[in-house]
DNA sequence: GTCTTTGTCACCTAAGTGGAAACC
DNA sequence: ACGGTTTCCACTTAGGTGACAAAG
């Protein structure tokens, strides 16, 4: 009795393949298992903000519900949640983003280096959630790295179906998910279209991608198709897939921060030539952070964080990288590593790697856009804020600057430069079927596909065309699948998703029993643009995200005026505030689907979006929700939303810099370190939504509240559209 | 569409901690969520034997049901299953077992080396199963290694609560489980009673243990407590826990076969002294096998099987070790590695490590028993069969020998020397509560406790005394727990299992929300014997397993007369045939519980069991089933059982050696290689049950069928008792 | 003093990393 | 020749293994 020595690291992952399969089923019957539309808002704690446990359950539920601006959905149970997602190691991501993040893809699959890891708050402790991640094309351009910068090199190649990676621990309770950062280490990037392993996402080299994170409240993967997806996009995680690094600065940054690349650090060990001495001063930057949280990450990661010192504050403030970026202007490059010896002469701020992705698909040289977003030369980061850690209170405060302009190209949403304005789109899973669940990838342990019905051989991936002919979702065989799903105890184990009804289009592959390791539904964005739209289902290939991102970046850059504010998005924390219920999504609100599936920017939109502001990159939180016929938002909700946001900001700032409620105060750098003690506590969120549904490309969203009490320091801009009347909420 | 490149290694593991928690709840209300007793047998395919996919669903269901000999239970659904479990790398296990397997336990936890891995067949493809494993005391003796042999050194020390390790992929469909071998690599052995990690089982050094494997058909861990457990025991996996290796031969065998110990192989690299040149000839034995199946193992094992050549037949036949054991009599030692330079002179067969565990608890020197089981000196394995791979048809055929004697001490069950006669005891989970689920250990990924409500800190382990005072199950707070469990969506995340109701006995530990990483229910055997029985629940500390093992070993040795037949059990394949439904277990059939939880042999019984025959070690398959009031078996069922067995054997033999139906033929060594191509296909099973319930210590079981058509080559003996009238069924 | 346990160590597997050259 | 891809390499982290010496 006095024992209880065991401390089991339970893996609550509850992924019955059957569930998985079912989840993958593209459900085209929105009402199938959904609650009646317009259920009405359910109570949601408004102040989950700071700490998940600090909310008042019933007190402000109603308010919160309104804040969300729409029917709270969550038909299933009466759950009080208001997820707030914070990107871990945001500062690191920012550093990469400024240079133009590159991710190597290999045949065998490569991890993302700045590991995609998020910290979640505001979930209902008891409710079960399924967390997912996917990577979708950021646009439809092909890129090339020329003259030390990324340039558009034509139209994108066709995208392979993107897989929806289900966090292996799903489903798990909110408490469990909030206990520690949620990592997706098992997800690997590959260019091998015949990928046999799981956990791999097929990308096109020299194309730009955007990782996305999804939260679904569901206690069973079987319910995934009928559940609401809350999608979070961290623009700073955008990257170009490459087979070999193009930008030496990126290489050096990777070497300096990825423990597995220590062998390439200039420690006098006769390392390779090339990028030389950037390392020393910043050694053990990201790594130290990881140490702190060691053992706390999920995603079956045994190797995510390297070993080493475990006491350094993991917050960006503590990390040398961050420091460098913010304080070091010694180097010519943007806050990249202090590396004194940049090889390619990109050291100079202007044309340097700092404007990696400025170019959009219009085939116009990136320089134009880059220049736009890369105002100041040299280290820039002139705005110390620019490099502020995602968790530091400072970043939030700094952006008290004006709401910013909302010019189409540059004046995006200035949801506080560094305060991460989340753009949340809530979508019903039933709808994500056509656009959301491109394919579900259930991560196994150690990359070891445990239950491969196909004898661990051929993957069961469904191509969009397979599953659904042009607009032939119901006709495809989805009904068949859905039927199966309906069964409570239905086992997907041997259920052949695509083969049976869709014909032998290669879905089943070898193996005997068809198995839905990763169900390939339609991959909207990534594929929608490049492939003929499926029937009339996806009229809008462009995704909200992209638009929002563009708007946000534009506004951010203008608002901050920081030279480095080239990046479209830089937010680190998001919190669901606004929920769109594009019940009619398939036709009337296709964008939502698009966004979820692809997040593509059309050429024209790309241009509109402008390059980007690296400074204020709002996290786009897309909360997709079905079950509600109307898209008309409640103005009151919006207002409440703003109020909530303000309070949240205060809470956050208080949390981070002990400056509760004073977002205006520009916290000195000192805060940074404090902010991110061990787990990057400094969570901040902002709700970014478009008050003028008519003027934006986004699905109908609630109009801006009449009166906005939002503090000036935290401007609420619509990230969903750039032409919105109420671009600035504050 | 033509893509389907993704091949996700989904991890169907569905372990919502809530479920886990619930499962851990000691349910003392058998009828709580159970179907009415005597539900009646449900159809079960009789010939799942060879291949899981080769069965005739309806055709022989009825027959199968009868074969099973009892009410099929499986109240939930009408599932057709007849699990057949084969121990992977049986030959390796055999080699170790002959020497007296030792497993190092360390403070940080040590893996088992011959990894405990099983191949499963006969499951219902669609049904969900939860697979578990635990390690229980094999007897109540303490051992010491003296004069190159293991000797009893007194009574056993008190056992720590044993944890029930739930395979991380649970629950998963039968199809998934059968797709590849199921490994339990994450399970670690430790002597650290304050174990903070999960996946660790606390053992006492110098004590003997027996791993057990459990199959539970349940789609949710929450249902575990109310589900039927089918327990499989592979006697050859018995081992002595040590902090340092005692037998140099074991050390060498480990070094030669464990890829992680390659550094100690005598490859001229100036290895340490000690055991010298056994290695060379056998290099890459087990490892090669592993390679073949690489990527097929489950249990989140990233490192289970080493890399290397991937073409060698993994069957024991192909492995040098096996070869050696069987064919090599060059070395003095039993079939240990051919190592010519054995240091301790144990090379000589007689007193050597070959008779490791012959001694039982009677404090009598092991020699007596060892002598009994270790008839021949030297390499012995005179009986080529002895070392036959578990999967080779040969072994099965060989034992066509006479049924053997059933003398209490030595004349055990001769269920064919090498044909692995499974002893299956089916027990209702509701009952395992008192004795079965000592503690549930949910394996996490990479030993990284993902969802630790206690902030990944203190383990939540319940000591028996905590959860239940002497016979105070219901009074403890179990009701409370059960109640929680009843909730469908109940989240265990924050549920404090032990703390709330049982008082702060240390169950909750630090952390905030109590979490059931491993629920400690009652740990019967291991603890039952050493601790005061809980109320009157466990009148029989001795477990069937032990008894059966003893009987089996005894018979085996006598039947084969092989000098090496010292090991009590050597079977590698089991298949549920007989199902006991000790509905009244708590009181009337406590043994079942005991078996499940502890599998302890009383001193007297130990002696009765005799040492062992290394040759014919039947797999004990214990199928614990509640829900049936009567224990009276149907004779007809038994008969059918035999028939089925025969057909199965034929199938198996045919599968292995292409000699379908000719069990009598003693296959030459050549078969071996064939038998275990890639995954050790050569599955063979035998049902071992006691036809005379009255004469055996086992719970009431069906009487032997009047007429037995079992082929002479496959003797069916009762492994459950040695005094059974129908000890020999064939 | 004997037996057992503990900690450190060298050595190994497994796998992540970027470089460099080969490849196409 | 050029640009992108592939392969192999050395190096790293992470962790498994038994030997060995030092404790207990």
B551 CB-to-strand D distance under 7 Å: no
Predicted pLDDT at B600 = 36
Of B1, B2, B7, B303, which to mutate for an interface test with A (greatest number of A Cβ within 10 Å)?
B7
From CA B662, how far away is CA B255, in angstroms rounded? 38
Q: Which residue of A has its CA nearest to B2?
A: A506
What pairing do the DSSP bridges indicate for beta strands B149-155 and B117-121? unpaired
Predicted pLDDT at B286 = 64
**DSSP notation for A633-662:** PPHHHHHHHHHHHHHHHHHHHHHHHS-TT-
Mark residue A122 as left, alpha or beta (left: phi above 0; alpha: psi -120 to 50; beta: remaining).
left
What is the pTM (predicted TM-score) of this model?
0.57
**DSSP notation for B398-424:** HTTS------SSS----S-TTS-----
E strand spans, B492-608:
518-520, 573-574
CB atoms within 10 A of CB B480: 15
pLDDT at A471 over 70: no
CA of A566 to C1' of D5 (A): 30
B303 CB-to-strand D distance under 7 Å: yes
B147 CB-to-strand C distance under 7 Å: no
**Distance in angstroms between the alpha carbons of the first and the last residue of chain B:** 57
Pair of tokens at residue B506: 């240390």
SS (H, E, C) A679-720: CCCCCCCCCCCCCCHHHCCCCCCCCCCCCCCCCCCCCCECCC
**Residue from B551, B591, B546 nearest B717 by CA:** B551
User: Which nucleotide, over all strands, has the C1' atom closest to the CA of A290?
Assistant: D13
pLDDT at A578 over 90: no
Predicted pLDDT at A256 = 92
A424-447 b/e with 16+ CB inside 10 Å = b? bbbbbbbbbbbbbbbbbbbbbbbb
Start-end of H helices in B411-486 = 429-435, 464-467, 473, 479-486
From CA B180, how far away is CA B118, in angstroms rounded? 9
Q: What is the pLDDT of residues A520-553, one digit of tens each?
A: 222 222 222 222 222 221 222 222 333 333 333 3
Predicted pLDDT at A289 = 56
Are the beta carbons of B65 and B83 closer than 8 angstroms?
Answer: no
Q: Determine, for residues B452 and A302 on separate chains, whether the beta-carbon distance falls below 8 Å.
A: no
- The interaxial angle of helices A366-373 and A544-560, nearest 10 deg, is 50
Predicted pLDDT at B136 = 95
**Chain A closest CA to B384's CA: distance in Å?**
33
**Chain B closest CA to A217's CA: distance in Å?**
12
Predicted pLDDT at B131 = 96
CA of residue A72 relative to chain centroid, distance:
22
Q: Does B441 touch chain A (CB under 8 A)?
A: yes
The angle formed by the CA atoms of residues B393, B399 and B405, to the nearest 5 degrees, is 160
Q: How confident is residue A343, by pLDDT bands cut at 50, 70 and 90?
A: very low
Name the residue with tokens 């938002």.
A633
Q: Determine, for residues A4 and B509 on separate chains, whether the beta-carbon distance falls below 8 Å.
A: yes
What residues of chain A, 477 to 536, have a C-beta less than 8 Å from chain B?
489-494, 498, 505-507, 509, 512-513, 515-518, 520
**Chain B closest CA to A582's CA: distance in Å?**
28
DSSP A112: -
Dihedral sign for Cα A308, A312, A315, A317, please.
negative
Q: Does A119 touch chain B (CB under 8 A)?
A: no
Start-end of H helices in A489-571 = 499-502, 544-560
- Give the sheet arrangement for strand B182-183, strand by strand: B182-183, B117-121, B84-87, B573-574
Count of pairs with CB atoms under 8 A, one residue in A, one in B: 454
Task: Return positions of chain C under 7 A from a protein CB.
Answer: 3-7, 10-21
Q: Which residue of B has its CA nearest to A218?
A: B489
Q: Determine, for residues A8 and B463 on separate chains, whether the beta-carbon distance falls below 8 Å.
A: no
Residues 294-323 of A with CB under 7 A from strand C: 303
From CA B607, how far away is CA B603, in angstroms rounded? 6
CA distances from A489 to A113, A492, A710, B76, B218 (A): 39, 9, 48, 10, 10
pLDDT at A42 over 90: no
Predicted pLDDT at B338 = 26
Q: What is the pLDDT of residues A96-151, one digit of tens each?
A: 999 999 999 999 999 999 999 999 999 999 999 999 999 999 999 999 999 889 99
From CA A487, how far away is CA B77, in angstroms rounded? 13
DSSP-derived 3-state class of residue A396: helix
CA distances from B450 to A6, A217, A241 (A): 15, 18, 30
Are the beta carbons of B286 and B306 closer than 8 angstroms?
Answer: no
User: Which nucleotide, over all strands, has the C1' atom closest to the CA of B243?
Assistant: C5
Pair of tokens at residue B472: 């105070």
pLDDT at A253 over 60: yes
Helix (H), strand (E) at residue A120: strand A117-121
CA of A251 to C1' of D10 (A): 17
Q: Does A447 touch chain B (CB under 8 A)?
A: yes
From CA A473, how far away is CA A503, in angstroms rounded? 14
CA atoms within 13 A on the CB side of B581: 26
Are the beta carbons of A40 and A632 closer than 8 angstroms?
Answer: no
CA of B697 to C1' of C13 (A): 46
pLDDT at A81 over 80: yes
Chain A residues inside the 8 Å CB shell of B192: 5
Ranges of residues in chain B with a pLDDT under 70 are 1-77, 195-198, 267-730
User: Which nucleotide, over all strands, has the C1' atom closest to the CA of B290?
Assistant: C13
Mark residue A447 as left, alpha or beta (left: phi above 0; alpha: psi -120 to 50; beta: remaining).
left
The angle formed by the CA atoms of residues B604, B242 and B131, to the nearest 5 degrees, is 80
pLDDT at A302 over 60: no
CA of B108 to C1' of C8 (A): 14
Q: What is the pLDDT of residues A181-196, one digit of tens each?
A: 999 998 999 998 886 6
CA distances from A353 to A310, A390, A566 (A): 32, 22, 11
B307 CB-to-strand D distance under 7 Å: no
pLDDT at A655 over 80: no
Pair of tokens at residue B250: 């074991």
From CA A92, how far away is CA A118, in angstroms rounded? 13
Residues 91-150 of A with CB under 7 A from strand C: 104, 108, 110-111, 113
CA distances from B332 to B92, B321, B338, B340, B341 (A): 19, 15, 8, 8, 9
CA of B263 to C1' of D19 (A): 11
CA of A601 to C1' of D4 (A): 25
- The interaxial angle of helices B544-560 and B366-373, nearest 10 deg, is 50
From CA B163, how far away is CA B435, in angstroms rounded? 12
Predicted pLDDT at A161 = 84
From CA B256, how far away is CA A110, in angstroms rounded? 33
**DSSP notation for A454-472:** TTTTS-----HHHH-BTTB
Q: Please give the backbone phi and psi of residue B467, each rounded to the nearest 5 degrees, phi first.
A: -65, -35
**Which of A219-223, A643-647, B646-650 is predicted most confidently?**
A219-223
Pair of tokens at residue B710: 């079992």
Pair of tokens at residue B629: 């009031």
From CA A531, how far away is CA A25, in angstroms rounded? 21
Are the beta carbons of B638 and B689 closer than 8 angstroms?
Answer: yes
**DSSP notation for A28-63:** --TTSSPPPS--------TT-SS-GGG--TTTTHHH
Q: Determine, for residues B180 and A452 on separate chains, whether the beta-carbon distance falls below 8 Å.
A: yes
Helix (H), strand (E) at residue B189: strand B188-190
Dihedral, CA atoms, A454, A458, A461, A462, nearest 10 degrees?
Answer: -90
Predicted pLDDT at B81 = 86
A154-183 b/e with 16+ CB inside 10 Å = b? eebeebbbbbbbbbbbbbbbbbbbbbbbbb
Task: Return positions of chain D under 7 A from a protein CB.
Answer: 3-7, 10-21
Q: Determine, for residues A9 and B452 on separate chains, whether the beta-carbon distance falls below 8 Å.
A: yes
Dihedral sign for Cα A377, A378, A381, A387, please.
positive
**Which of A13-22, A108-117, A673-682, B197-206 is predicted most confidently?**
A108-117
**Which of A58-62, A121-125, A290-294, A314-318 is predicted most confidently?**
A121-125
From CA A132, how far away is CA A84, in angstroms rounded? 15
From CA B630, how far away is CA B621, in angstroms rounded? 20
B308 CB-to-strand C distance under 7 Å: yes
Q: Does A108 touch chain B (CB under 8 A)?
A: no
User: Which nucleotide, over all strands, has the C1' atom closest to the CA of A267?
Assistant: D11
Q: Please give the backbone phi and psi of residue A323, each rounded to the nearest 5 degrees, phi first.
A: -50, -50
| Rounded mean pLDDT, A245-264 | 92
What residues of chain B, 687 to 726, have a C-beta less than 8 Å from chain A?
none
User: Which nucleotide, over all strands, has the C1' atom closest to the CA of B258?
Assistant: D17
């Amino acid at each position: 009795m006095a024992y209880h020595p065991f401390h089991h690291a339970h893996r609550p992952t509850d992924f019955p393949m059957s569930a998985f399969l079912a989840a993958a089923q593209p459900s085209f019957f929105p009402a199938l298992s959904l609650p009646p539309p317009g259920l009405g808002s359910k109570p949601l704690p408004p102040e989950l903000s700071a700490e998940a446990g600090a909310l008042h359950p019933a007190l402000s539920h109603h308010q919160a519900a309104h804040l969300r601006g729409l029917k709270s959905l969550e038909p299933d149970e009466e759950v009080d949640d208001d997820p707030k997602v914070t990107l871990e190691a945001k500062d690191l991501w920012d550093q990469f983003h400024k240079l133009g993040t590159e991710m190597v893809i290999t045949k065998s699959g490569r991890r993302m280096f700045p590991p995609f890891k998020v910290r979640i708050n505001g979930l209902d402790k008891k409710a079960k959630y399924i967390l997912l991640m996917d990577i979708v094309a950021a646009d439809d351009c092909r890129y090339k790295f020329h003259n030390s910068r990324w340039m558009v090199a034509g139209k994108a190649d066709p995208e392979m179906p993107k897989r929806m990676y289900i966090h292996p621990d799903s489903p798990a309770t909110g408490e469990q998910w909030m206990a520690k950062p949620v990592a997706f280490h098992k997800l690997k990037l590959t260019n091998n279209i015949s990928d046999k392993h799981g956990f791999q996402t097929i990308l096109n080299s020299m194309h730009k991608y955007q990782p996305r994170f999804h939260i679904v409240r569901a206690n069973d993967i079987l319910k995934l198709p009928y559940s609401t997806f809350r999608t979070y996009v961290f623009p700073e995680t955008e990257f170009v897939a490459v087979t070999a690094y193009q930008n030496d600065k990126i290489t050096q940054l990777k070497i300096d921060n990825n423990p597995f690349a220590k062998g390439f650090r200039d420690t006098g060990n006769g390392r390779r030539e090339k990028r030389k001495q950037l390392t020393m001063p910043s050694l053990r930057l990201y790594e130290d952070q990881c140490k702190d949280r060691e053992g706390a990450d999920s995603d079956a990661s045994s190797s995510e964080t390297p070993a080493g010192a475990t006491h350094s504050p993991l917050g960006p403030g503590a990390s040398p990288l961050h420091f460098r970026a913010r304080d070091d202007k010694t180097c010519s490059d943007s806050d990249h590593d202090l590396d004194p010896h940049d090889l390619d002469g990109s050291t100079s701020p202007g044309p340097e790697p700092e404007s990696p992705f400025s170019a959009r698909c219009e085939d116009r040289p990136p320089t134009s856009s880059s220049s736009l977003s890369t105002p100041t030369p040299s280290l820039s980061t002139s705005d110390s804020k620019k490099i502020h850690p995602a968790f530091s209170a400072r970043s939030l405060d700094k952006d008290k600057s004006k709401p910013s302009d909302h010019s189409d190209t540059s004046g995006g949403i200035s949801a506080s430069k560094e305060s991460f304005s989340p753009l949340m789109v809530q979508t019903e899973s039933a709808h994500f079927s056509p656009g959301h669940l491109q394919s579900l990838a259930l991560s196994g342990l150690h990359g070891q596909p445990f239950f491969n019905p196909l004898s661990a051989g051929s993957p069961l991936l469904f191509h969009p065309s397979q599953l659904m002919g042009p607009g032939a979702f119901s006709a495809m065989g989805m009904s068949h699948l859905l039927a199966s799903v309906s069964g409570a105890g239905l086992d997907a184990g041997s259920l052949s998703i695509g083969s049976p009804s869709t014909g032998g289009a290669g879905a089943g592959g070898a193996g005997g029993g068809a198995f839905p390791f990763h169900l390939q539904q339609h991959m909207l964005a990534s594929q929608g643009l490049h492939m003929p739209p499926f029937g009339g289902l996806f009229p809008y290939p462009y995704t909200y995200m992209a638009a929002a991102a563009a708007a946000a970046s534009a506004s951010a850059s203008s608002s901050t005026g920081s030279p480095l504010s080239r990046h479209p998005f830089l937010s680190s924390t998001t919190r669901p505030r606004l929920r769109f219920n594009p019940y009619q999504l398939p036709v009337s609100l296709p964008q939502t689907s698009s966004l979820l599936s692809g997040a593509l920017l059309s050429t024209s939109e790309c241009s509109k979006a402008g390059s980007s502001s690296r400074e204020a990159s709002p996290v786009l939180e897309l909360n997709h929700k079905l079950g509600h016929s109307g898209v008309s938002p409640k103005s009151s909700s919006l207002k409440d939303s703003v109020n909530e946001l303000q309070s949240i900001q205060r809470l956050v700032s208080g949390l981070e810099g002990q400056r509760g409620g004073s977002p205006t105060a520009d916290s000195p750098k000192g805060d940074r370190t404090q902010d991110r003690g061990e787990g990057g506590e400094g969570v901040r969120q902002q709700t970014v939504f478009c008050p003028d549904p008519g003027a934006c490309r986004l699905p109908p969203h609630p109009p801006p509240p009449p009166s906005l009490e939002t503090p000036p320091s935290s401007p609420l801009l619509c990230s969903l559209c750039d032409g919105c009347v109420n671009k600035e909420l504050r």
